[in-house]
Structure 1
């Protein structure tokens, strides 16, 4: 049986959900979210014979909270999960800021365990310097996350998943509030301050980019299209009228697109 917790030393561990059998699909949640966000998508993937796996990032969900929120450290966490489950031929599906974790894993560890990358609403490859974002703006954001996280959630949960039922938005809001505050502030800085352009350009495996054209968190023109222009031979799939939280608003469609690329 697969481990429910992958040890990370000094009593720390990463919580893993591993459902079913078949070709493995590792789903990586975005900033301040954990593996629960993929629940509906995982059910759809299981139904077509895939093995969906989701783990909670360090400081998120049921995982413990230890120092190490830069992309190198988070890529090593991903490596620990893939090694513990002894996965080969895995498809990585990375949402939002998790795109950087997956990309850094591939450039840091290679693709021996991974056959394909699917970026969903991925942030990057560069944030500061794009769309008017400055280091000062990032500082202000991190200050609000430190002192008024509930206020930030109140202003941003509706644009994340427009049309989602109120109870679903409350559930997602609770997911953010449950995170280690240290983790979400530090990970936000990692997302904003890391330039992944060279990493993305060095990828040498099939990459699909799925991005909504109403994504306010990672705008299509500065994220999805920029990745598509940077990653060799990348496939860009644009979801018209869809925002950042595609696994909440359009899980069935997303699962179908993932399955088509995994199963051929």
Structure 2
């Protein structure tokens, strides 16, 4: 079942809500530049196992509205709070992939983890996607600068090139095209705006220290987007966290090793 939830005047986000009678609720925050459809293979598995699966298309992406503003982590975490309030969600597991992971971290600090009983960070873009003078573990700043530049010049080319590093295992041509189309669903301005947010000093280092719920950190060792050392920093900064390496995965570990990922998530949810 899909519907829209108003998060701001004239801004509505699309929510996919499967198996509303499920025993355990899992909320998914997708990464850039896709949508909640990226979690299709988690919805398939977890719903069959009795979970309620809620996927949110962040503003600017998927089927959600695409305003010119609101692509900072504060606003995006506020959007999540609106969804949580509207659906009256309690004791749910929050899963954030890539930029969705950064938003999840900000939600845990800014909204005190309201309603969240467990957290899963999946190839999360935290505490910083890029290298900084005090943080040598991310990708180079000029990589992001080039993504922004290419978004404004030739977005299809940029998206196709990004797809080449998203997966570690070879995917079929139809699957590659499907992934590309998910990127096309986003607006050009929102695609660039999120990339600009990666460059800001978002202070997720402090946010992580405020996370108190059990946290599962999952990360592919071959990730070329959010490098594996980010996961080690997350594990260091978050108390009560557990890190699971995915030895045969890149950035899309939920697809590269989807069976292992699905099992680990379900076990964590049911612990």
Fold match, TM over 0.5? Answer: yes
C-alpha distance in 1, partners of 2:209/2:237? Answer: 5
Look up the SS of the partner of 1:198 in the other structure.
helix
Q: Please give the TM-score of this superposition, normalised by the length of structure 1.
A: 0.94
C-alpha distance in 1, partners of 2:138/2:269? Answer: 37
Please tell me whether the aligned partners of residues 3 and 85 of structure 1 are also in contact (alpha carbons under 8 angstroms): no
Q: CA RMSD in A?
A: 1.7
1:225 to 232, 237, 244: 232
Q: CA deviation at 1:146?
A: 1.7
Please tell me whether the aligned partners of residues 15 and 54 of structure 2 are also in contact (alpha carbons under 8 angstroms): yes
C-alpha distance in 1, partners of 2:122/2:139? Answer: 21
C-alpha distance in 2, partners of 1:124/1:220? Answer: 11
Please tell me whether the aligned partners of residues 248 and 256 of structure 2 are also in contact (alpha carbons under 8 angstroms): no
C-alpha distance in 2, partners of 1:158/1:168? Answer: 12
C-alpha distance in 1, partners of 2:109/2:203? Answer: 14
C-alpha distance in 2, partners of 1:230/1:88? Answer: 25
2:99 to 91, 97, 100: 97
Q: Which residue of 1 aligns with 2:261?
A: 254
Please tell me whether the aligned partners of residues 88 and 114 of structure 1 are also in contact (alpha carbons under 8 angstroms): yes
Q: Which residue of 2 aligns with 1:239?
A: 246
Look up the SS of the partner of 1:149 in the other structure.
helix
- Is 1:44 the counterpart of 2:53? The answer is no
Runs of 4+ in 1 over 4 A off after TM superposition: 131-137
User: Where does 1:152-163 land on structure 2 (aligned, <5 Å)?
Assistant: 152-161=158-167, 162-163=169-170
Deviation larger for 4-13 or 46-55? 4-13
Q: CA deviation at 1:151?
A: 1.8
- Is 1:56 the counterpart of 2:57? The answer is yes
C-alpha distance in 1, partners of 2:146/2:113? Answer: 37
C-alpha distance in 2, partners of 1:132/1:87? Answer: 34
Please tell me whether the aligned partners of residues 25 and 53 of structure 2 are also in contact (alpha carbons under 8 angstroms): yes
Per-residue deviation, residues 78-136 of structure 1 (Å, max 9, x unmatched): 10111111110010000001111111111111123110110001112122323575555
Look up the SS of the partner of 2:216 in the other structure.
strand
Please tell me whether the aligned partners of residues 13 and 56 of structure 2 are also in contact (alpha carbons under 8 angstroms): yes
Look up the SS of the partner of 1:236 in the other structure.
strand
Per-residue deviation, residues 38-96 of structure 1 (Å, max 9, x unmatched): 11111100111111110100010110012100000000001011111111001000000
Please tell me whether the aligned partners of residues 113 and 211 of structure 2 are also in contact (alpha carbons under 8 angstroms): no
Q: Which residue of 1 aligns with 2:203?
A: 195
Q: Please give the TM-score of this superposition, normalised by the length of structure 2.
A: 0.91
Deviation larger for 138-147 or 210-219? 138-147
Q: Which residue of 2 aligns with 1:30?
A: 31
Residues 1:253 and 1:5: Cα distance change in structure 2 (over 3 Å) = same
Please tell me whether the aligned partners of residues 3 and 84 of structure 1 are also in contact (alpha carbons under 8 angstroms): no
Q: How many residues align?
A: 262
Q: CA deviation at 1:149?
A: 1.7
Instruction: List gaps (5 residues or longer) in structure 2.
Output: none
Instruction: List gaps (5 residues or longer) in structure 1.
Output: none
Q: CA deviation at 1:239?
A: 0.5
C-alpha distance in 2, partners of 1:167/1:197? Answer: 39
Q: Which residue of 2 aligns with 1:106?
A: 108
Deviation larger for 135-144 or 14-23? 135-144
Deviation larger for 10-19 or 127-136? 127-136
C-alpha distance in 2, partners of 1:133/1:250? Answer: 23
C-alpha distance in 1, partners of 2:10/2:139? Answer: 38
- Is 1:7 the counterpart of 2:6? The answer is yes
